[in-house]
Structure 1
Amino acid sequence: MDLFIGLLDARLSIGGTTILWREIIGNAFGLACAYGGMRRVVWAWPVGIVGNALLFTVFLGGVFHTPQDLDLYGQAGRQVMFIAVSLYGWWRWARTRAAGRREAAGVDPSRSVVAAVRPRWATGRQRAAMAAFWVAGTVACAWAFTALGSWGPWADAWIFTGSMLATWGMARGLTEFWLVWIGVDIVGVPLLLAGGYYPSAVLYLVYAGFVIWGFVTWLRAGRAEPAAPAPAPARVGS
């Protein structure tokens, strides 16, 4: 237990600024998850969950006595949200990949690699619903985060709600989720720099370029690949 606590509290000093190693490691797992998402492989989801668990303790700085000593309830809360939505995405992608493998085996038995999801564009109604959710969610969460005493509640709320939309969009295979991440990054980088969360801010900057790459990759895949089979419905009693 002492070794585990020691690893959690391990710190790095750069230019007089103290940074927790678990913030760096948690963000590295997040970047690996994004890469797996771009490649549309199921392991992206569990890798992301590990990073979310680490970052949850980072953004509750006042509770866990981090160097920043700031409580960003939106940033911490979105790690919990990520874990919940990631479990759904993990389940959905695993089922879709299994269905794709069964279909591929019937056509070409030698084909063993099947993407877990086929990218597609959201419908106009879905886009309108997503935009309305982002606005309404930001207002509601900003009110809640202000009441809790969060630092930077409005930016925190925008990031939290956008992250929820992006993760849900990734699970559903909607190409727009990459664009939602750009909107999150635009607000996230200034917030994290101002709060002293430098590894996370750097990740957001790196992620912005990565998001463009991922968007182009999904766009091409959506045009080139045939429609993926829908997961078979679960039978009662199975």
Structure 2
Amino acid sequence: MDYLRWLFDAQIPVAGTSLLLREVLGNLFGLASALGGMRRRVWAWPVGVVGNLLLLTVFLGNVVGASAPATLWGQAGRQVMFIAVAVFGWIRWRQGKRDADSHGVAVVPRWAGPRARIVLVVTLFLGTGLLTPLFSVLGSYPPVWADAWTFVGSLLATYGMAKGWTEFWLIWVAVDVVGVPLLFSAGYYASAVMYLFYGFFTLTGFFVWWRAQRREAEGGALRAAPSTTAGAH
């Protein structure tokens, strides 16, 4: 219990201010999860859950009696959402790894398709519009629409990752563009800096998955070529 109390209250002094240790650790676990996701490793999901639990206690702010800059209901709610979707992604990727070849990856990247892309974009804007009044009533830090945007975008990006859609990286970019200014203004500097880094990281992840997708497609074509030729004889 003493260790948990220390973890809950510990702060790191930085440039005349202080950062919650839980916030720093939560983002480090999140970064490790993102690295695992880029490499398409199953362990990315449970590692991410640990970070989500830590950040949940951070963004609830004074609701849990913590010394925090502000309460961000969207940021807190998305940690709960992350955990729920992580269970889905964990199961899906474990199954994918069992069904995959010896490359050791858990999912083969693919495009979401035109219809799914439309659904993703519409859901992002519609969900933001619907949740903004709710987060306002709950007392989320302004601009409240930005908190709602990061919540809905994070849900869609995590779902896209579980499905193996390469576009999920671009959704994260859209989340980071809005989330970085919001977190800086709310005083969550560790998360804001991490989001800023994520912005560049997610672009890298997009191209990594895109290249992997092309390699898988080319490999599939080469594997299919002999059987096609044999069928012709």
TM-score normalised by structure 1 residue count: 0.88
Match of 1:15 in 2: 15
Question: 2: distance between equivalents of 1:93 and 1:9?
Answer: 36
Match of 1:133 in 2: 123
Question: 1: distance between equivalents of 2:82 and 2:163?
Answer: 14
Counting only pairs closer than 5 Å after superposition, residues 165-180 of structure 1 correspond to structure 2 as 165-180=156-171
Match of 2:231 in 1: none
Match of 1:53 in 2: 53
Match of 1:108 in 2: none
Equivalent position to 2:113, from 120, 123, 127 = 123
Equivalent position to 1:142, from 107, 132, 145 = 132
1:69 Cα offset (Å): 3.9
Question: 2: distance between equivalents of 1:129 and 1:194?
Answer: 31
* Amino acid corresponding to residue 132 of structure 1 in structure 2: V
1:50 Cα offset (Å): 0.2
Match of 2:94 in 1: 94
Question: 2: distance between equivalents of 1:72 and 1:42?
Answer: 29
For structure 2, the residue ranges without an aligned partner over 5 or more in a row are 221-233
Q: Percent identity?
A: 54
Equivalent position to 2:173, from 182, 191, 200 = 182
8 A Cα contact 2:69 2:187, kept in partner: no
Question: 2: distance between equivalents of 1:212 and 1:148?
Answer: 33
RMSD: 1.1
Aligned positions, number: 217
- 1:92-126 residue CA offsets vs partner (Å, 9 max, x unmatched): 000010011xxx3xxxxxx4x42100111111110
- 1:205-238 residue CA offsets vs partner (Å, 9 max, x unmatched): 11111111111100000011156xxxxxxxxxxx
Match of 1:6 in 2: 6
* Amino acid corresponding to residue 138 of structure 1 in structure 2: T
1:63 Cα offset (Å): 1.4
8 A Cα contact 1:23 1:55, kept in partner: yes
Match of 2:31 in 1: 31
Higher helix share: 2
* Amino acid corresponding to residue 48 of structure 1 in structure 2: G
Match of 1:218 in 2: 209
- 1:44-102 residue CA offsets vs partner (Å, 9 max, x unmatched): 000000000000010011113444341100000000000000010000000010011xx
TM-score normalised by structure 2 residue count: 0.90
* Amino acid corresponding to residue 151 of structure 1 in structure 2: Y
